[in-house]
Amino acid sequence: MHSIEPFYNWLDVYVSEEDERSPFFGAEHSEFEYTNTIYNYYVHPQWDQFGSPTLYMKVLYADYEKHFVVMEFLGEWNDAITNDIMYLKRDIADAFMAKGIYKFVLLGENVLNFHFSDDCYYEEWYEDVNEHGGWIAGINFREHVMKEIKKAGIPNFVLFTHPDEEIEWRKQKPFTFHKLIEEHLMPNLLH
C-alpha cells in the first residue's frame, strides 16, 4: 500500500494544499517519512487524513466556477465502525459546499472494502447538492465494493459507473474530465 500514490499529473493546474478554499489548505506532507497506516500497512505520505483510520483521500482538483471537485480515495470505506461518510460529509463535502461546490466526483478504484451502516449521510449530501443542481458520482469502484454499496442502497443518492466499464480518467485533464462526466457519463451512470 505504501507505493500507491495519489494521482499527481494534475498538480500543474491544482494543488489542494495551496487552495485557500480547500479543507486541506496548508497541509504538509513528507516525501520520505511514512507515518500513516491502514491497519498494519503504511500508506504513501501524500494521502490526506480526514478522520477515518482506514480511509484516506486526496482532492485532485476543484473548480469553483464550474462547482466541481474530484476526490481520490484509498483504503477501507467503513461506515459501520468508523462512520467514514460522516467525516467525509461534515468535514470535506460541507466545507466545499460552503465555497460553492455542488458536483462531486469520488474516484474509488483504490477503495478495497466497503462496510455500510445506513444511508442517512448519503441522503443528506444528495439533498444538499440536488437543491443546487449538483450531483455525486462514484467512478471506477471495484465490483465487490459495488455489491456492498448496492446492498446499502447508496445508488439512490450517488450515481456510479458500472464496474465493468472502467473510465480512463487519468488520460484526461480535469476540465475535459468534467466535460466527459457532464455530457457523456451522467445520463448513463447507475442509480
**Inter-CA distances, 183 with 12, 105, 138, 178, 186, Å:** 25, 14, 16, 9, 7
Query: Whose CA is closest to 44, among 17, 75, 68?
Result: 75
Is there a domain that residue 99 lies in? yes
Question: How much is the pTM?
Answer: 0.94
Counting the structural domains of the chain, the total is 1
Q: Give a yes or no: residue 6 inside a domain.
A: no
Model pLDDT for residues 94-126, shown as the tens digit of each residue: 999 999 999 999 999 999 999 999 999 999 999
Instruction: Tell me if 80 is assigned to some domain.
Output: yes
5 in a domain, yes or no? Answer: no
pLDDT of 185 over the 80 cut: no
Instruction: Specify if 3 maps to a domain.
Output: no
Per DSSP, helices labelled H in the chain are 84-87, 94-98, 120-130, 143-151, 174-180
CA distance 167 to 181: 10
Q: How confident is the model at residue 167 (pLDDT cuts 50, 70, 90)?
A: confident
Query: What CATH number does residue 128 fall under?
Result: 3.30.750.24
pLDDT score for 32: 80
Range of the domain at 86: 16-188
**Does residue 108 lie within any of the structural domains?**
yes
Domain membership flag for residue 11? no
What is the pLDDT at residue 59? 98
User: CA geometry: angle at 8 spanning 46 and 89, to 5°?
Assistant: 60
